[in-house]
Amino acid sequence: MDSFRYKFEKIQKLNPFWSSWVCFCETLKELKINRRERINRLFNQFVDIDDYDKREKRELVDYLATSEF
């Protein structure tokens, strides 16, 4: 978790105009995380609620869990 937070914050600092969703996706990609349960937990902590529609959260997590990075 600390490595995720460190990488996420680093990506945010380097890309100040990116949304938390984009930074989250880049962090998953760099750390090669693809377990649905972990993605869901991290999603809740790092992606701003204003960056996605609550009704689409399940689809977004499913997409990330099945994506090939």
Residue 64 corresponds to which tokens in the numbers above? 């990330």
Overall residue count recorded for the chain in this entry: 69
30-61 pLDDT per residue, tens:
999 999 999 999 999 999 999 999 999 999 99
What's the rounded Cα separation, in Å, for the pair 38 and 14?
24
Q: Which backbone phi and psi does 47 adopt, to 5 degrees? A: -95, 125
What's the rounded Cα separation, in Å, for the pair 32 and 40?
15
Residue 31 corresponds to which tokens in the numbers above? 């750390």
Is this prediction's pTM over 0.75? yes
pLDDT at 21: 97
